[in-house]
């Protein structure tokens, strides 16, 4: 079991292990030692991004390999660059939807895919070995230009990729509201959609290094939804800090999750004979309502563990064209190997043009069941707490209560020090009580010695 990697790369507080300069330097060196000779690095707008990128690059070049800095770019752009260029690997310096004081490292292979769990474990084992500690970071100063270079053309390459995915000549006369979360999307989305003919209203503040995701973006989409109504817009999109996901709003201001997006895109692909397996891949977090709505189209739903990497692996294994998560990570297999919020919004705008119907009408066939979500802060004790027999007992009692009418899922987050609780069913008040009961037991067990049951906790992603 990896202790360094979570659901999506390495994440933590910038400046603290494992995101301290020395460890980051060694991670860069380990990538090169593993055989990677050419690396592309992108980052979001956090104030810690530049020094983390520098530490990583110096570690990589310390082993004689080359680094190309792509600057501020969305995470999926690095996947595109890895697929279409000469790079052996890519790294994104980002903590996605987390607060500005956090940061992280997301890794891509030269084929544009996230590292597999096996590859993560191999990198972690090398990092823990003596071999990774042979050299120490050089003092600050200019780096050899032959080993570290900046390529401002990376932004243009990604923009051309996005344009190539559009199947209509223009997005005119759509009226859009975009919330770029003061993050990486601000480098791409406003100009892209404007150049394609849409009227664009931006609502997030210009990035200042600390305002990324602050009361905005995919985690806080309600302001975006209100502005959609105020502006009479056709569609609103809220991206997260690194723009690998998007939450949408229709013209009525109703917030639409990744489940809505999957339903709309699945039906469109099905009508155009571009859903060959008649399946959509989602995670255990997707609403039971999505499963029922797809079934009405004679389309199946395959569920995976949480994480867009797991979704992609299932898609590639089964030859599926569409997958995603309720959080807004959507993978369009025809175009990309990564969740891409900007591409998703572009394709949804395309559907509005082609169908000449509102997003509210297009998504009307999906009725979500009540779902209650709650996070409980647990620090590093999450998995131990899910082994606690008192917590397990409370979870099992809720499972028995909801049997046949709903479900409960309790898991450790792979990106934050919390346990996530989800209950789904028919009665929201009942679900609220069930979730609060589990949360209260976790908080109580957190303050007392563990009473282990000998079984592992659920869904560790």
Identify whether residues 91 and 240 lie together within a single domain: no
**pLDDT category of residue 3 using cuts at 50, 70 and 90:** confident
Give residue-wise pLDDT tens across range 183-233: 999 999 999 999 999 999 999 989 999 999 999 999 999 999 999 999 999
Identify whether residues 348 and 376 lie together within a single domain: no
**pLDDT category of residue 243 using cuts at 50, 70 and 90:** very high
Identify whether residues 327 and 192 lie together within a single domain: yes
Total domains, the chain? 3
Q: Indicate the pairing of strand 418-424 with strand 407-412.
A: antiparallel
Identify whether residues 100 and 225 lie together within a single domain: no
Give the residue-averaged pLDDT of 89-109.
97
Residue 461 lies in a domain: no
Q: Which of 127, 152, 177 is the last residue of a domain?
A: 152
Residue 395 lies in a domain: yes
Residue 127 lies in a domain: yes
Is 70 exceeded by the pLDDT of residue 138? no
- Return the minimum-mean-pLDDT range out of 303-312, 339-348, 411-420, 429-438: 411-420
Q: CA-CA distance, 296 to 157, in Å (whole number)?
A: 40
Give the residue-averaged pLDDT of 296-317.
95
% of the chain surpassing 90 pLDDT: 77
Per-residue confidence (pLDDT) for residue 67, from 0 to 100: 96
Identify whether residues 137 and 267 lie together within a single domain: no
Give residue-wise pLDDT tens across range 325-366: 999 999 999 999 999 999 999 999 999 999 999 999 999 999
Q: Which of 324, 342, 362 is the last residue of a domain?
A: 362
Residue 421 lies in domain: 371-446
CATH code for the domain of 100? 3.40.120.10
CATH code for the domain of 386? 3.30.310.50
Q: CA-CA distance, 8 to 328, in Å (whole number)?
A: 15
Identify whether residues 188 and 307 lie together within a single domain: yes
Ramachandran bin of 149, using left for φ above 0, alpha for ψ from -120 to 50, beta for the remaining angles: beta
Identify whether residues 269 and 318 lie together within a single domain: yes
- For the chain, the average pLDDT equals 91
Residue 2 lies in a domain: no
Identify whether residues 97 and 216 lie together within a single domain: no
Residue 285 lies in a domain: yes
Identify whether residues 142 and 180 lie together within a single domain: no
Residues classed as catalytic: 96
Identify whether residues 147 and 169 lie together within a single domain: no
Residue 50 lies in a domain: yes
Is 70 exceeded by the pLDDT of residue 133? no
Is 80 exceeded by the pLDDT of residue 379? no
**pLDDT category of residue 134 using cuts at 50, 70 and 90:** very low
Is 80 exceeded by the pLDDT of residue 459? no
Per-residue confidence (pLDDT) for residue 85, from 0 to 100: 84
State the Rg of the chain over Cα: 22
Identify whether residues 295 and 383 lie together within a single domain: no
% of the chain surpassing 70 pLDDT: 92
Per-residue confidence (pLDDT) for residue 411, from 0 to 100: 86
Is 60 exceeded by the pLDDT of residue 132? no
Identify whether residues 205 and 271 lie together within a single domain: yes
Residue 454 lies in a domain: no
Residue 457 lies in a domain: no
Roughly how many angstroms between the first and final C-alpha of the chain, as a whole number? 11
Q: Which of 104, 127, 152 is the last residue of a domain?
A: 152
């Amino acid at each position: 079991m990896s202790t360094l990697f979570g659901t999506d790369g390495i994440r933590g507080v910038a400046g603290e292990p494992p995101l301290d300069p020395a460890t980051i330097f060694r991670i860069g060196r380990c990538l090169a030692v593993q055989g990677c000779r050419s690396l592309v690095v992108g980052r979001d707008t956090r104030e810690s991004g530049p020094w983390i990128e520098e530490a990583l690059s110096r570690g990589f070049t310390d082993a004689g390999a080359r680094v190309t800095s792509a600057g501020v770019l969305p995470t999926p752009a690095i996947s595109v660059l890895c697929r279409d260029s000469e790079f052996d690997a890519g790294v994104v310096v980002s903590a996605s939807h987390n607060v500005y004081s956090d940061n992280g490292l997301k890794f891509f292979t030269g084929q544009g895919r996230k590292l597999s769990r096996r590859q993560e474990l191999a990198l972690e084992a090398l990092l823990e070995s003596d071999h990774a500690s042979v050299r120490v970071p050089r003092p600050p100063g200019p780096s050899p230009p032959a080993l570290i270079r900046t390529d401002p053309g990376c932004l243009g390459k990604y923009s051309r990729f996005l344009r190539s995915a559009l199947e209509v000549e223009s997005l005119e006369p759509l009226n859009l509201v975009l919330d770029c979360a003061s993050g990486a999307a601000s480098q791409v989305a406003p100009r892209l959609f404007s150049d394609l003919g849409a009227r664009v209203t931006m609502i997030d503040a210009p990035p200042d290094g600390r305002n990324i995701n602050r009361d905005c973006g995919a985690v806080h989409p309600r302001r975006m939804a209100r502005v959609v109504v105020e502006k009479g817009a056709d569609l609103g999109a809220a991206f997260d800090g690194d723009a690998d996901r998007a939450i949408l709003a229709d013209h009525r201001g109703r917030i639409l999750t990744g489940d809505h997006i999957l339903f709309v895109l699945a039906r469109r692909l099905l009508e155009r004979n571009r859903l060959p397996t008649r399946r959509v891949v989602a995670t255990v977090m997707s609403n039971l309502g999505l499963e029922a709505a797809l079934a009405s189209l004679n389309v199946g739903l395959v569920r995976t563990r949480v994480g867009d990497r797991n979704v992609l692996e299932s898609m590639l294994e089964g030859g599926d064209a569409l997958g995603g998560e309720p959080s807004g990570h959507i993978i369009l297999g025809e175009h990309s190997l990564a969740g891409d919020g900007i591409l998703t919004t572009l394709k949804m705008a395309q559907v509005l043009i082609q169908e000449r119907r509102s997003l509210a009408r297009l998504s009307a066939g999906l009725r979500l069941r009540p779902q209650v979500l709650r996070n409980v802060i647990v620090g590093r004790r999450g998995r131990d707490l899910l082994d606690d027999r008192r917590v397990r007992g409370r979870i099992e009692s809720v499972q028995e209560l909801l049997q046949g009418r709903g479900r409960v899922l309790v898991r450790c987050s792979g990106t934050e020090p919390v346990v996530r609780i989800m209950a789904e069913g028919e009665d929201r008040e009942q679900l609220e009580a069930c979730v609060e009961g589990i949360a209260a037991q976790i908080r109580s067990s957190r303050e007392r010695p563990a009473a282990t049951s000998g079984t592992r906790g659920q869904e560790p992603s």
